[in-house]
Structure 1
Amino acid sequence: MKKIVLLCIICVSFLMVCCNNEDFLDQPLRGRQQLDDYFSTPQNAEAFINGIYKKVNGESWWQANFQRQINDMATDDNWSGNTAQPRPDISGISAYNVFPGSQYFNSFWENHYIGITRANISIDRIPAIEIEESIKRRMLGEAHFLRAFFYFDLVRNFGGVPIVTTYTELLEPAINDKTRSSVADVYKLIEEDLQIAINNLPLRSEYPAKDLGRATKGAAQSLLAKVYLTEEKWALAQTNANDVIVSGEYQLEPDFANIYSVDNHHGVESIFEIDYINNPVFQEIGAQLPITNGSRGDQGWGWGSPTSDLENAFLSEGDNIRLRSTIIKHGEPVYGDPDVTSFNALPSENKSGRTNRKYYVPVAKRPVPYARGQIALPYIHLRLADVLLIHAEAAYFNNDPTSAKLSLKKVRDRVQLPTDMSLTGIALRDAIWKERRLELALEHQRFYDLRRQKIDGIPRMALIMGPNGSFVKYNTQISTDPYETTNLNESQEKGIFFDVSKHLLWPIPPKEIQLSRGNIVQNPGY
């Protein structure tokens, strides 16, 4: 099957002509004539569109997905984990002892703006191409969807950021005069882009098999629902999520364990997924997370170890089905891998003696060599269970508890958990929030959920982290976990430095402030 990832390989050399900088828009484009040549054929235009997708997860391990992994380390779901390799630029972020100049902030920012630049070029040039109208509409829809995706990532991490919507803004002196737009203006652009995408993109069922992985109408509706949820536009979030649910385009995987199976690319639940393949001829076209997230006792780097606090959340719910497909524990068998009856999480080098099962590849299915950038494990950004829980949360806050409970029930039914249909008020809200934690654990969702969810106006992150946070108190006063309490190379006090006036946003990379000649202003506290 011809997949997006293969098409991306083809266009790399072309993209380097237009977007080879690895700094925030600090290299002007080489000239209009080269763009005219590049967009002279429909095939070249499609290759350029394919190149935008390369920036969704980054073109190497450090550019985007590792920052998402670090974000998860900054929650109650994960420790930084690797206690054998001191890296204060990683563990410092996860512990809220933040180094503003971290390369991971820098690369995340740069990666996303390069993606935005590629989208801007496509939006500008594609309308003039002589091509079938339906294909033109689809390509423009993809470009608008991806630009919205990048800006949504940026605004959730950094707050208001510079808005760049044309590639001519990259030229001197305009680039040095860019300032931060308001959060409201960034969200306005995201909403507009996603509405255009919804109006132009095909349904998943309308794509041929070779185009699976491209953005769809359902992906744009799902992302817009998440955007509206983040903005607390409850009615709009509920409506957009419901449109996806009733479309019939997606289903819950009958077996939870199959969602992240290496054999289940573009499964029935997957809405927006970045596909990976194994091909030793090319580098960086396979998944990164099985290695960066994997146990140091199992050819991994050991970053991002699940906490006993997360395990306890599963146990308190009697949720063994999701627990066994989410957390691997030292000395225990690996669910779904008959070759491993006693897993080596290497507790002497791993804070919690636990590893993420979702990004684990069974031994018999591993390529040789088993190496970063060569693993055919998909990465799912949006899936139906997420949308069902977006719908449930939005419906709850939109004074529609019946719809909220029906969506909650669909998610819990799959893992054979009962749903109390008499729940109301705060108890229903908390049940939905807990379900998001259990269902989406270790999928890089928790960080953003805790920042946006509020209790009496206070972000939940501030109630979990900080000197009086529940996670800090659990680890320093309650926990008796045999791994976490004995391996103190990562402090039990992780999160104690959280400051709600500062840490609901990450710092703007100092290099970008310098490039803007000080026009881009740093976030408070940094």
Structure 2
Amino acid sequence: MKKYIKILLITTLIISFGCKTDDFLDEPLRGQEQLDDFFSTEEKSLNFVNGIYNKVNGESWWQVTMPRQINEMATDDNWSGNTLQPRPDITGIAAYNVFPGSTYFNSFWESHYIGITRANIALERIPGVNMDENLKTRLMAESRFLRAFFYFELVRSFGGLPIVTTYTELLEPSISDKVRSPIAEVYELIESDLNSAINDLPLKSQQSAIDLGRVTKGAAQSLLAKVYLTEEKWQSAKDMASEVINSGEYSLETQFENIYKVNHYNGPESIFEINYFTDLNFSEVGNGLPITNGSRGDQGWGWGSPTSDLENAFLSEGDNIRLRSTIIKHGEPVYGDPTTTSFDGKPTENKSGRTNRKFYVPVDERPVPYQRATIALPYIHIRLADVILMHAEASYFAGDEGTAKTSLKTIRDRVQLTTNMALTGDALRDAIWKERRLELALEHHRLFDLRRQKINGVPRIALLMGPNGSFVNYNVNISTDPFETTNLGEPQDKGKFFDINTHLVWPIPPEEIQLSKGNITQNPGY
């Protein structure tokens, strides 16, 4: 994957679709001959599919990974963090005083639809290319997986979507009449694409060294398990997660701290990740999160600071192993970095004086200069522990508490925590949900977990946020954290504006509504 993605990033082989999503509605590719050329050989077809991968994390740090980071800020795990720079398009989202025209909603939508368009073109054109049939089958499957991935991220973020499945649709005059399809129809497409991809993708163990990092059968099964979990298709989610767990293709990292380790690519636990690397001759080839997420006292920008509420969750379990590899705290040593014995969390400019350890790079392992988008830190979308916890949750809701507890124990055993095997009912459910929070903390899963998990039919996010939410109450009436309660540059009542009738999805970018002449409608409340 690294080799292929590097080729993409340093060449202009891939088509430019313009800046706006609806540009693909109004500005078709620059000529049929140019499109033919992109699929004139096996190598060019492969490079085109590489260009679809390039949209998974966006072609620049702000397009996709920054919106994912902002999603995390809108949960109980993160503050906006940076109290020095006024950025209402960031802090407003985190506080549920949402600015619909935020660049980050726009860029996320646009980048994902460009990825969908590239996948559609590949699916239409690759069948006609004279090339190795096995490679052709694999590239088609990869394109279907990636299209499903993009639609899944969009439907979870915005709700119903305009569905476009072919490039030829974009050439028809009626394309401007596209409207939002119901959520159920979007999920039907996602399931169809993933089930098709599963049949044709290789196992991880069948990949050559140069192909490591490309999507596999296990990646498609894992994503489909998460789709089923989101749809509350409990037995299907359990069965699909079981396929991955029992495949023998993946294993948990022995040491938790090795999961997010710089230059550690496609480890035994990794199922779907994007590799980054350091090459100072080119921009945007490295991971930007260590800088955007890093402390302002450590060459970072200070966005996305862990909350004391999250730290308390680790402490309540006696979970020091994961805590030390998840949260860095001002004035304390950094686990795994012997050069930093007293971390500068810059509490005068940072809401919590805390930083995400998972995106931190030890000083001796940093490139020089140490700057945004130059850092060889992988970004993991799906790993085995996530799948095991999906299996635990789906098993519980499918009525199989014994299996749920066994999967829960597997995750806790790694970090030397005991599991109460007598747990049952709501207590078991809550233990599984808490384990997801601790295991996957700050990896950009929390918002979507809180939106889909329900207690008596009410999404958990609505129980944490809002004027009477438990997270708001903790910060306003209970917390004595010395950093959060003294730096009020970010208000302590973050989340009080949450409205369950509005904020279970984000607003459709206003530019898209305008460009569609109102055929794409806005979500209620925005």
- Aligning the two structures, in what range does the TM-score lie when normalised by the shorter sequence? over 0.9
Structure 1 residue 402: Cα displacement: 1.0
Is structure 2 residue 215 aligned with structure 1 residue 215?
Answer: yes
Structure 1 residue 61: Cα displacement: 1.3
Give yes or no for contact 1:330–1:354 (8 Å, CA) kept in 2.
yes
Q: What is the match of residue 483 of structure 1?
A: 483
Amino acid at match of 2:430: D
Q: What percent of counterpart residues are identical?
A: 70
Q: What is the match of residue 106 of structure 1?
A: 106
Is structure 2 residue 427 aligned with structure 1 residue 427?
Answer: yes
Measure the CA separation in 2 of the matches of 1:510 and 1:67: 17
**Worse-superposed segment, 359-368 or 166-175:** 166-175
Q: Deviations over 1:30-51 (max 9, x none)?
A: 2222221210100000000001
Q: What is the match of residue 80 of structure 2?
A: 80
Give yes or no for contact 1:277–1:374 (8 Å, CA) kept in 2.
yes
Q: What is the match of residue 411 of structure 2?
A: 411
What secondary structure sits across from 1:14 in the alignment? Answer: coil
Q: What is the match of residue 33 of structure 2?
A: 33
**Worse-superposed segment, 63-72 or 28-37:** 28-37
Q: What is the match of residue 248 of structure 1?
A: 248
Amino acid at match of 2:344: N
Measure the CA separation in 2 of the matches of 1:44 and 1:476: 57
Give yes or no for contact 2:29–2:35 (8 Å, CA) kept in 1.
no
1:440-455 counterparts in 2 under 5 A? 440-455=440-455
What secondary structure sits across from 2:381 in the alignment? Answer: strand
Give yes or no for contact 1:4–1:213 (8 Å, CA) kept in 2.
no
Distance 1:2 1:347, change over 3 A: closer
Measure the CA separation in 1 of the matches of 2:218 and 2:461: 30
Structure 1 residue 7: Cα displacement: 3.2
Q: What is the match of residue 324 of structure 1?
A: 324
What secondary structure sits across from 1:99 in the alignment? Answer: coil
Is structure 2 residue 21 aligned with structure 1 residue 23?
Answer: yes
Measure the CA separation in 2 of the matches of 1:173 and 1:90: 37
Distance 1:496 1:362, change over 3 A: same
TM-score (normalised: structure 1): 0.98
Q: Deviations over 1:238-291 (max 9, x none)?
A: 010000000000000000000000031111000000000101111101001000
Structure 1 residue 28: Cα displacement: 1.5
Is structure 2 residue 298 aligned with structure 1 residue 294?
Answer: no
TM-score (normalised: structure 2): 0.98
Amino acid at match of 2:15: M
State the number of aligned residues. Answer: 524
1:80-479 counterparts in 2 under 5 A? 80-171=80-171, 173-479=173-479
Q: Deviations over 1:146-173 (max 9, x none)?
A: 0000000000000001000011222352
Give yes or no for contact 2:241–2:391 (8 Å, CA) kept in 1.
yes
Measure the CA separation in 2 of the matches of 1:399 and 1:7: 49
Q: How much is the aligned-residue C-alpha RMSD, in angstroms?
A: 1.0
Give yes or no for contact 1:3–1:212 (8 Å, CA) kept in 2.
no
Give yes or no for contact 1:89–1:99 (8 Å, CA) kept in 2.
yes
Measure the CA separation in 1 of the matches of 2:19 and 2:178: 18
Q: Deviations over 1:99-119 (max 9, x none)?
A: 111110000000000000000
Measure the CA separation in 2 of the matches of 1:378 and 1:2: 11
Give yes or no for contact 1:5–1:277 (8 Å, CA) kept in 2.
no
Measure the CA separation in 1 of the matches of 2:351 and 2:425: 37
Q: Deviations over 1:10-55 (max 9, x none)?
A: 5x412135x3444332421222222212101000000000011110
Give yes or no for contact 1:293–1:356 (8 Å, CA) kept in 2.
yes
Measure the CA separation in 2 of the matches of 1:517 and 1:483: 48
Q: What is the match of residue 492 of structure 1?
A: 492
Give yes or no for contact 1:160–1:180 (8 Å, CA) kept in 2.
yes
**Worse-superposed segment, 124-133 or 90-99:** 124-133
Structure 1 residue 2: Cα displacement: 5.4
Give yes or no for contact 1:155–1:186 (8 Å, CA) kept in 2.
yes
Structure 1 residue 459: Cα displacement: 0.2
Q: Deviations over 1:398-432 (max 9, x none)?
A: 00111111111110000000011111111110000
Measure the CA separation in 2 of the matches of 1:268 and 1:288: 24
Q: What is the match of residue 14 of structure 1?
A: 13
Amino acid at match of 1:404: A
Structure 1 residue 374: Cα displacement: 0.5
Measure the CA separation in 2 of the matches of 1:516 and 1:374: 37
Measure the CA separation in 2 of the matches of 1:219 and 1:7: 23
What secondary structure sits across from 1:257 in the alignment? Answer: helix
Q: Please list every run of 5 or more consecutive structure 1 residues that lacks an aligned counterpart in the other structure.
A: none
Structure 1 residue 175: Cα displacement: 2.9
**Worse-superposed segment, 257-266 or 354-363:** 257-266
Amino acid at match of 2:438: L
What secondary structure sits across from 1:15 in the alignment? Answer: coil
Measure the CA separation in 2 of the matches of 1:4 and 1:392: 36
Amino acid at match of 1:23: T
Measure the CA separation in 2 of the matches of 1:76 and 1:37: 49
Measure the CA separation in 2 of the matches of 1:471 and 1:324: 23
